[in-house]
Amino acid sequence: MARCDFANGRIGARRSRLLGGRGLRDLLVRRDLGERLEMLRQAGYAAAVPAPPPGPDALSAAERGLGDLVRREARELGGHLEGALQRDLYRAFLLFEEAETLKTALRGIVHSEPADRVLALAAPTRSFPAERLRALAALPDPAAAAALLEAWENPFAAAVRRALPGIGKPGGLLRLEVAVDRTAQERALAAARGRGEDRAVMRRLLSARADLANAATLLKLVGSAEAGEFFLPGGAALGADRFAALSRLPPAALRQQLSRLLRRWLGAPDAARALERPSRAEGLLERGLARAMRAEARARPLSLAVPLAYLHDRLWEVRRIRLVLRGAEYGLPADDLLDLLEA
């Protein structure tokens, strides 16, 4: 039996406090920031959202609180895991959230975004707390980022350094992001080698993640002759040869093939049409990973899949809450925000 039952017994109550799709839409239609923060306090986010009355820094304070909540929950769930193996696998899976934060910071650096904008979009993590994110966001270029990551002895430093020569080529930023993702994937795959239920669960989740990430990359590449260097290992439906073959297809044929190969996780009968729009495609692929994780958690309720699926859903929801709060506060039309939420 997997040694996750103590942690898993606490997931049900936490999951019941998630807003879900309807709650996020309700949050969007509130009149102003004060009403949105009050709704969050009433809906189980009281520990993350500053008490009324909201001051001029209320939005930033709420974002900091939401980030703190996720990190605290991740730390608590990890602390409840009883086996050393389960804790190691759990920490390996958390590398993907570290990777997401780093990629957000690197995108801002490459596009010369103001540091404040980068900080608003990047969620602090264990390896990238607020002060380190501020230092990253202020850097002038990816080479400086690689040097700072090396000084911090960050696990992604070598990947960023290796990707630097390709920054100026077509797809340079994507090459950099895939290099970061590949580091997280390879480390997680290494942790999952061997026998046992939780290692097998981890490998299946990593397979689904790789297939869906490779699908997202293919949709961005569309016909690139250098597709192979963007490949993420570990998937079952999209191996290296199939990835290369798909990369040569025209857009419509590519979408049809992806919708067929990933039908198990994409679910939607009109997936090929949904993949036409970048925002819809990103959301559909992300929901595919959530679907894979929940299916694994239902099938193996005493396994590591349960806390991993819950934490993924919490992270997804907090990112959407941040999107609603910041987008509404800065005047993004409600229809556009709703479209992003539904994506």
What CATH number is given for 1-81+311-343 in this structure? 1.10.132.50
Which pLDDT tens digit goes with each residue over 75-110?
888 888 878 888 899 999 999 989 999 999 999 999
**Is 80 exceeded by the pLDDT of residue 293?**
yes
**Pick from 40-44, 180-184, 278-282: least confident:** 278-282
Question: Which pLDDT tens digit goes with each residue over 246-278?
Answer: 998 999 999 999 999 998 888 766 788 878 877
Q: Where are the domains of the chain?
A: 1-81+311-343, 96-191, 196-303
> How distant, in Å, are the alpha carbons of 38, 182, 307 from that of 178?
39, 6, 26
Q: 214: pLDDT confidence band, cut at 50, 70 and 90? A: very high
Q: In this structure, what are the phi and psi dihedrals at residue 157, rounded to the nearest 5 degrees?
A: -60, -45
Is the pLDDT reported for residue 11 higher than 80? Answer: no
Q: Which amino acid is at 172?
A: G
Instruction: Give the model's pLDDT for residue 263.
Output: 87
For 239, half-sphere exposure in the C-beta direction (CA atoms, 13 angstrom radius) is 2
The CA distance from 151 to 17, in Å, is: 40
Identify the CATH assignment for 196-303 out of 3.40.50, 3.30.310, 3.30.450, 1.20.1690.
Answer: 1.20.1690
pLDDT averaged over the chain? 85
pLDDT confidence of residue 167: 87
Domains 1-81+311-343 and 196-303 alike in fold: no
Candidate from 3-12, 217-226, 230-239, 263-272 with smallest mean pLDDT: 3-12
- The confidence score (pLDDT) of residue 1 equals 42
| Residue 123 pLDDT | 78
Radius of gyration of the chain (CA): 20
Q: pTM of this prediction?
A: 0.84
- 10, pLDDT greater than 70: no
Q: Is the pLDDT of residue 312 over 60?
A: yes
> Using alpha carbons only, what angle is made at residue 48 by residues 84 and 54, rounded to the nearest 5 degrees?
165
Indicate whether 215 pLDDT > 60: yes
Pair 81, 4: CB distance under 8 Å? yes
